[in-house]
Amino acid sequence: MRVKAHVPYLFIAPAVILFSIFMLYPIISSFILSFQTSTGGEMAFNGLDNYTRLFSDAIFLTALKNTFIILIIQVPVMMILALIVATLLNSALLKLKGLFRVAFFLPAVTSLVAYSIIFSIMLMNDGLINQILAAVGLDAIPWLSNPFWAKVSLIIAMTWRWVGYNMVIYLAGLQNIPEELYEAASMDGASKIRQFFSITIPQLKPVILFTVVLSTIGTLQLFDEPYTLTKGGPSDSTLTIGMYLYQTGFRYFDFGYASTIAYVIVVLIAILTAIQFKVTGDDK
Amino acid sequence: MKKNAPIRKITLYIALIIGALVSLFPFYWAAIGASNESGKMFSKPPTLVPGSSLMENISNLNAQIDLGRVMFNSLFTSITYTVLSLLICTMAAYAFAKYQFPGRKTIFTIFLLSMMVPYHATIIPLFKMMASLGWLNTYQAVILPNLAYPFAIFLMRQNLLAFPDSLIEAARIDGAGEWKIFFRIVLPSMRPALAATAIFLFMYQWNSFLWPLIALSSTDMYTFPVALSSLFGLSRIDYGQVMAGVTIATLPIIVFFLVLQRQFISGMLGSAVK
C-alpha cells in the first residue's frame, strides 16, 4: 500500500509552522538582538559589546555565581534523595506502593508560584519552621533575611518540589533492571547496600544522566522560586541568571543586553550537557 | 537475611511515612491557613487545625482579585491549550513514528535540539512579536507560543512507536484513508498515552508563570499564578487570603492529577527509559 507523498507533511505541518513562528524565529531573533543595543529607540549593532559588558557587570557575575552554587548543591542532594525514595518504593516488602508514589509525586504538580508562597510563609521569622525549632530548643534561623540561609531556603524548597518528579523517572529505570542480577548477587552473598552500588547505580546510569541534564537545564533557567520566595534578596544573594534576564528585559527594557544574557544561558547549558555526557561516557 | 525482614519492613515504612508526610504537609498547612484568621498562622503555638474563616478569607480574596474571572482565565487557557497542543503534537508524533518521508530525521532532530534551548531565549522576541500584533494581554498570547511542544511530540512518538504497523496496513487494505486511520484507529487505542500527555500539557499551562507575567498586563486577564504573585507582592499581605488563593489555585490541578494519575505515571514510566 502506498501513501501519497504529501500526507506525512500534512500531519507535521501545524506543528512545524507553529514551531517555526514561535520557537525558531525567536531563537534566531534573540541571537541577533544579543549583538545589538538600543540607541534612541532604534536597535543598532554594537558587535561584541554586550558580551564584554557581562564580564565587568558585578550583578551578572553575582547572579552567575548564585546560580552555580544552587546548581552544585541542589541537584546532587535532590538526585540522591530521589534515588533513595525510588529504591525504597521499589522494595518487594512494600504494600500500598501506589499511595506512597502519589504522596511523593504531589509536590511536582503544584505551581512554582503557589509552593514558593507556602514556603516563604513557613520560613518567615516568626513562621512555623522557626516555631518548631524553638519547640525543640533551637535558635530561630533568619531563613529569608540572611544571604546564606536564603540560598538554603531556596534549595530546600526546590528539593521538596522536584524529588518526587525524579523519583518517578528512577522508578521506571529500576523496573527495567533484570531481577536475575540481584538474585545472582544475593547468591554470591552481596549485601543490599553492595547491590545498590554495584548493580542499581551502574544499571541506572543512562536514566541518572537524563535527570541530571534535565535538572541542570531547569536550574540554569531558575526564575519562579527566587522571584516569589526571596525576590532575589537579601542583597542579591538569591538573584539568578533567569531573574537578572527578566529584570534587564522587562524592568529596564534593555532587550539587547537581556538577549545576551539569554544566550549565555544557552551556551552554559550546551557546555554543561556536553560535559555530563563526556563524564558518564555516554556519547549517544 | 530472613530473620531481619520484619525489622527491615518496619524501618522501610517509617522512612516512607515520614517522607510522605513531609511531601504532603505544606498542602495541609496551606489549607489550614486558608480556613483560619490571617494572624493565626503566626500564633504560638502554631495553629494546625482548620478554623472557621474560610468563607471570610475567600470573600476578602475575591475583593482583591476577581476569583471567578481568574479561574475562568486559567481554565480557559489551560483547556484550550491542552486540546490544541495534544492534537497538533500527536499528529506530528504519528508522522514521525509511522511514515517514512524525506526530512523526517532532520525535522525531528531540530525539535529535540530545541528542548535544550532555554525558554528565556525566546521571550524577548515573543514579547516584541505579540506587541507588534497587538496581542499583548490576550488569551492567544498565552496559548499560542508553546502549542508545538517538543517534549509532548517526543512523548507521543515514543508511545506510538509501539503501535502495531500491521493494524495500519490492514486498515489501508480495507480502503480507509490516512486521516480516518489516525482518528478512528490510532487515537482511540492511544488513550492512556494521550491522558499522560494531556496531564503534562495541562499542568504545564496551568502552572506557567514567566510568560503570562510578561504577556498579561491587566488584572482581568491574569491567570492564577500571576494573580497570586501580585497578591503576595502587596505591601500589606493578608495571609489567610493568600493561603485561600494558593489552596484554590492548587486544588483543580491536584484533582485533575489524582483522577488521571495512573495513566500519567504509567505514561511517564513507559516513555522515560526508551
CB neighbours (10 Å) of residue A54?
15
Q: How far is A168 from chain B (nearest CA, A)?
A: 7
Q: Specify the pairing of strand A42-45 against strand A36-39.
A: antiparallel
Return the pLDDT at A5. Answer: 85
Question: Three-class SS string for B73-126?
Answer: HHHHHHHHHHHHHHHHHHHHHHHHHHCCCCCHHHHHHHHHHHCCCCCHHHHHHH
Query: How buried is B120 (Cβ within 10 angstroms: 0-12 exposed, 13-18 middle, 19+ buried)?
Result: buried
Per-residue pLDDT for A93 more than 90? Answer: no
3-state secondary structure of B176: coil
- CA max distance for chain B: 75
Return the pLDDT at B42. Answer: 79
Read off the C-alpha cell for B225. Answer: 499564578
Query: How buried is A14 (Cβ within 10 angstroms: 0-12 exposed, 13-18 middle, 19+ buried)?
Result: middle
Question: Mean pLDDT in chain A?
Answer: 89
A50-280 folds as MetI-like fold (1.10.3720)
Top pLDDT among A240 and A281 is at A240
**Length of chain B measured in residues:** 274
- Distance, in Å, from the CA atom of A24 to the CA atom of A1, rounded to the nearest integer, reads 35
Residues of B in contact with A191 (CB under 8 A): none
Read off the C-alpha cell for B23. Answer: 511531601
Residue spans of the domains in chain A: they are 50-280
Q: Which of B145, B148, B146, B166 is nearest to B90 (CA)?
A: B148
3-state secondary structure of B190: coil
Residues of B in contact with A112 (CB under 8 A): 207, 209, 225
Per-residue pLDDT for A284 more than 70? Answer: no
Interface test with B, best of A25, A117, A136, A240 (most B CBs within 10 A): A117
Give strand pairing partners of A172. Answer: none
DSSP B208: -
φ, ψ of residue A36 in degrees (nearest 5): -120, 160
Read off the C-alpha cell for A262. Answer: 539569554
Cβ of B125 and A16 within 8 Å? no
Contact A159, A81 (CB under 8 A): yes
3-state secondary structure of B236: coil
Interface of B with A in 48-87 (CB under 8 A): none
Give me the tens of pLDDT residue by residue for chain B, a chain 274 residues long.
455 678 888 888 999 999 999 999 999 999 998 888 877 777 777 778 888 888 888 988 898 889 999 999 999 999 999 999 999 999 999 999 999 999 999 999 999 888 888 888 899 999 999 999 999 999 999 999 999 999 999 989 988 998 999 999 999 999 989 999 999 999 998 988 898 899 889 989 999 999 999 999 999 999 999 999 998 877 788 888 999 999 999 988 888 888 887 777 776 665 544 4
Residues of B in contact with A121 (CB under 8 A): 33, 41, 239, 242-243
Cβ of B26 and A122 within 8 Å? yes
pLDDT tens per residue across span A120-140: 999 988 888 998 898 888 888
B33-63: burial string, b at 16+ Cβ within 10 Å, e else: bbbbbbebbbeeebbeeebebbebbbebbbe
Return the pLDDT at B269. Answer: 62
Q: How far is A193 from chain B (nearest CA, A)?
A: 13
Which chain B residue's Cα is nearest to A125?
A: B42
Cα of first residue to Cα of last residue in chain A, in angstroms, is: 34
Cβ of B118 and A265 within 8 Å? yes
- Distance, in Å, from the CA atom of A79 to the CA atom of A263, rounded to the nearest integer, reads 27
Q: How far is B226 from chain A (nearest CA, A)?
A: 8
Report ipTM (2 d.p.). 0.88
B151-172: burial string, b at 16+ Cβ within 10 Å, e else: bbbbbbbbbbeebeeeebeebe
Residues of B in contact with A31 (CB under 8 A): 121
Contact B20, A164 (CB under 8 A): no
B41: contact with A, CB 8 A cutoff: yes
Cβ of B29 and A122 within 8 Å? yes
A261-274: burial string, b at 16+ Cβ within 10 Å, e else: bbbbbbebbeebbe
Nearest beta carbon to residue A258 from set B33, B124, B257: B124
Return the pLDDT at B274. Answer: 40
- Distance, in Å, from the CA atom of A33 to the CA atom of A54, rounded to the nearest integer, reads 15
Residues of A in contact with B88 (CB under 8 A): 14-15, 18
Cβ of B99 and A3 within 8 Å? yes
Cβ of B214 and A250 within 8 Å? yes
Cβ of A33 and B254 within 8 Å? no
Interface of B with A in 219-248 (CB under 8 A): 224-225, 228-229, 232, 239, 242-243, 246
C-alpha torsion angle, residues A145, A251, B211, A76 (rounded to 10):
-40
Residues of B in contact with A9 (CB under 8 A): 95, 101
CA A45 to mean position of chain CA atoms:
33
Q: Please, which residues have CB within 8 angstroms of residue B188's CB and are 6 or more apart in sequence?
A: none
Return the pLDDT at A282. Answer: 55
